Amino acid sequence: IDRVSYNTVSIGAAAISLQGPGSPLTVLQGSYTVFLQPQFGSGIPVPALAQTGTVPASAMSVRFYGFAGFAVSFAGQTIPISQLNTTPNYNIYGGDISMFANQTGELRFTGGGYLDNIQFTTQSIPEPGALGLFAIGTLFLGWRLRGKPNL
């Protein structure tokens, strides 16, 4: 896809559009949101948003707001993405980019849906295993406390 439209939606072809004031679609945060729309039906081709630049030396993660699914890569290498939080209008995602700190390459978002607020941060991404253990522990504790008789 070699062009970006404004406040429009494709009726079938893959497209990238910038949604802003007056848009019929959702704007996730602020005044503008990017909408990546795969080709209707087959899903091929899939649109991508990319920029070449240098990852800051202090960057530990890349974070962004989104709604739907995205694959993220840097210099052709996939960055595993985790859902960090959810809001009524969008999810907050993040991926570990520390291994690419101070390197120059293309940061690419491929997929379909809404995309907003892409930024490098100095915060690390929690390990998925640690989050899973915490969730299991919380569920177990709730189950144990539920079975206790009131005195």
* Neighbouring C-alpha atoms within 13 Å toward the C-beta of 121: 14
Residue in 13, 15, 105 with CA at minimum distance from that of residue 52: 105
Query: Which pLDDT does position 127 carry in this prediction?
Result: 64
Reduce the DSSP state of residue 103 to 3 states and report it.
coil
Residue-wise pLDDT for 28-67, tens only, equals 989 999 999 888 776 567 889 999 999 999 999 999 999 8
Residue-wise pLDDT for 69-122, tens only, equals 889 999 999 999 999 999 998 999 999 999 999 999 999 999 889 999 999 999
Residues comprising the chain, all counted = 151
